């Protein structure tokens, strides 16, 4: 199937009800009619066209993300554009081998047969993307959906309206609507989409909304990939290089103003390294974002909170912690007119504080001292499984102890966040932090049905068919005893 460009005026945005149902029906017809036409060549062409449109609209993407929450240009290039470009390049490089039928080994019981697995498109897919990385988390999954040969409807977040409108335009410029389309709108649009019998749903967002998506999918027995979140911990032992850890943590935590699902949520640090860590983090924050409050606020490299509701939520977390005895170690400056909270370190938190129970998702980083790492492991295991877990240590045994005795979606040792960018690693959560995986082959697989195909060549299984005469019974008993 060749991908035809959309010409003429921008399409009417689908509303709720009939227009969305009509769009879904057209994509369902397209998915069935073009199943055999979504060849390797056609899929490669789709991916190339998407990349070309994004390249042409790079300045518009940068401008839209700045308009929505002042995301710096360099962050846009590194965290929004690069992951999608890499996903496209990786898929184009490996798609031929992914599509090739995979032969599987036989068994004595299947002697005389040949078997293989083929990856087949699931059909019509729904991609519900969040506001924090709207381009990356809309178009990245789309790459996997197209590589697998599906049609797709994207529902971007209404909280980043400039970027959502641009994603709509990029898709409309690149694909016919019966192949890929964008539905803008609020929760009512999302609910209308979730009421439809999609073949797969890819959702990125909070665990609370993830449960709603999964419940809706269950009504149609629709498969899901859920990229959720959680309180991703960082553990730093007494052997770690504190300066190196601080530099990586400040980048991983305060990029995008902390609005990253895999950002370090809180730090456990060996008590004898706590003061050194706080000082190193403070120095790194000031080196990167400015020595004074005014420099940090006016700097060009620091994003803003997406909207007043999230700003007020973060302020409430800080205020609750402070009222219960926590200490602001760095930052804490706020400006509601700009939805600005400076990079903030907070100490002396307790498990009873809201900041210790809720995913922070903002530029506030609690520092928790420990004496016995087993207490840290117990505390991590007492809560929901996080999306990511980070360990900083020079001792492999210490890192292995953490990895072997905890569960999380992913792990970085002596780094953070960057596992998201590795094209050959599955990215996803565990239970409360997610279901299924994305990126590279794993994303292709999530949007594909693994179809088992068996060919009978000279199988002797017919000797075990009824009527169950004494000789057939003996043959069955012998087969079970020897091969079972």
Q: Using DSSP, state whether 362 is helix, strand or coil.
A: coil
Helix spans in 57-81 (H): 58-69, 73-76
DSSP 8-state assignment for residue 80: I
Burial of 252 per CB tally in 10 Å (0-12, 13-18, 19+): buried
For 75-232, where are the E strands, in sequence order? 102-104, 113-121, 124-128, 151-155, 180-182, 200-204, 223-227
DSSP 8-state assignment for residue 455: E
- State both tokens at 80: 């929004």
Q: Is 227 a catalytic residue?
A: yes
- Within a 10 A sphere around the Cβ of 115, how many other Cβ atoms? 16
Handedness of CA 174, 180, 183, 187 (dihedral sign): negative
Contacts of 269 (CB under 8 A, 6+ apart): 235, 236, 277, 367, 368, 369, 370
Q: Is 303 a catalytic residue?
A: no
d(CA 137, CA 21): 24
Say which of 261, 303, 330, 412 is annotated catalytic. Answer: 261
Contacts of 86 (CB under 8 A, 6+ apart): 421, 423
- Within a 10 A sphere around the Cβ of 219, how many other Cβ atoms? 10
Enumerate the CATH 3.40.309.10 domain ranges in the chain, comma separated. Answer: 233-428
* 265 backbone dihedrals φ, ψ, rounded to 5°: -85, -40
d(CA 408, CA 381): 10
Enumerate the CATH 3.40.605.10 domain ranges in the chain, comma separated. Answer: 18-228+437-450
Q: Give pLDDT tens digits along the chain (484 positions).
A: 333 333 333 333 444 568 999 999 999 999 999 888 899 999 999 999 999 999 999 999 999 999 999 999 999 999 999 999 999 999 999 999 999 999 999 998 899 999 999 999 999 999 999 999 999 999 999 999 999 999 999 999 999 999 999 999 999 999 999 999 999 999 999 999 999 999 999 999 999 999 999 999 999 999 999 999 999 999 999 999 999 999 999 999 999 999 999 999 999 999 999 999 999 999 999 999 999 999 999 999 999 999 999 999 999 999 999 999 999 999 999 999 999 999 999 999 999 999 999 999 999 999 999 999 999 999 999 999 999 999 999 999 999 999 999 999 999 999 999 999 999 999 999 999 999 999 999 999 999 999 999 999 999 899 999 999 999 999 999 999 998 8
Say which of 184, 227, 284, 330 is annotated catalytic. Answer: 227
- Within a 10 A sphere around the Cβ of 292, how many other Cβ atoms? 9
* Residue 252 and residue 167 in contact, taking contact as beta carbons nearer than 8 Å: no
Domain 18-228+437-450 class in CATH? alpha beta
pTM for this structure? 0.93
CATH number 3.40.50.2300 given to 233-428: no
């Amino acid at each position: 199937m060749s991908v035809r460009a959309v010409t003429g005026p921008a399409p009417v945005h689908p509303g709720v009800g009939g227009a969305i149902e009509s769009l879904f029906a057209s994509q369902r017809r397209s998915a069935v009619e073009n199943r055999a036409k979504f060849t390797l060549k056609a899929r490669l062409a789709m991916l190339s066209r998407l990349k070309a449109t994004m390249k042409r609209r790079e300045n518009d993407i940068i401008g839209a993300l700045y308009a929505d929450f002042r995301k710096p240009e360099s962050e846009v290039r590194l965290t929004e554009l690069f992951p999608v470009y890499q996903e496209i390049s990786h898929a184009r490089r490996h798609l031929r081998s992914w599509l090739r039928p995979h032969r599987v080994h036989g068994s004595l019981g299947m002697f005389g047969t040949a078997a293989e697995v083929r990856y087949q498109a699931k059909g019509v897919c729904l991609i519900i993307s969040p506001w924090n990385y709207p381009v990356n988390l809309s178009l990245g999954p789309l790459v996997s959906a197209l590589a697998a040969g599906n049609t797709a409807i994207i529902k971007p977040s209404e909280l980043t309206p400039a970027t959502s409108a641009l994603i709509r335009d990029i898709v409309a410029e690149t694909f016919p609507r019966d192949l890929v389309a964008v539905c803008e709108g609020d929760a009512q649009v999302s609910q209308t989409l979730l009421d439809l019998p999609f073949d797969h749903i890819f959702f990125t967002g909070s665990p609370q909304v993830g449960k709603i998506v999964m419940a809706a999918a269950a009504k149609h027995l629709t498969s899901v990939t859920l990229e959720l979140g959680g309180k991703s911990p960082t553990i730093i032992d007494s052997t770690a290089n504190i300066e190196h850890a601080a530099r990586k943590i400040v980048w991983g935590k305060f990029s995008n103003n902390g609005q990253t699902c895999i950002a370090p949520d809180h730090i456990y640090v060996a008590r004898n390294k706590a003061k050194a860590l706080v000082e190193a983090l403070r120095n790194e924050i000031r080196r990167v974002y400015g020595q004074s409050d005014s420099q940090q606020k006016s700097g060009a490299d620091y994003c803003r909170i997406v909207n007043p509701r999230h700003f007020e939520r973060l302020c409430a977390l800080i205020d609750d912690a402070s009222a219960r005895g926590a200490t602001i170690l760095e930052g804490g400056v706020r400006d509601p007119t700009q939805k600005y909270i400076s990079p903030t370190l907070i100490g002396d938190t307790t498990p009873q504080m809201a900041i210790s129970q809720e995913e922070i998702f903002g530029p506030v980083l609690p520092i928790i001292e420990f004496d016995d790492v087993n207490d840290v492991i117990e505390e991590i295991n007492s809560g929901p499984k996080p999306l990511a877990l980070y360990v900083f240590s020079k001792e492999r045994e210490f890192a292995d102890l953490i990895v072997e005795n905890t569960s999380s979606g992913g792990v970085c040792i002596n780094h953070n966040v960057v596992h998201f960018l590795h094209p050959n690693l599955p990215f996803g959560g565990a239970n409360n932090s997610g279901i299924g995986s994305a990126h590279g082959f794993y994303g292709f697989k999530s949007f594909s049905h693994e179809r088992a195909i068996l060919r009978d060549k000279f199988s002797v299984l017919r000797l075990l068919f009824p009527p169950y005469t004494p000789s057939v019974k003996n043959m069955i008993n012998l087969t079970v005893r020897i091969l079972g």
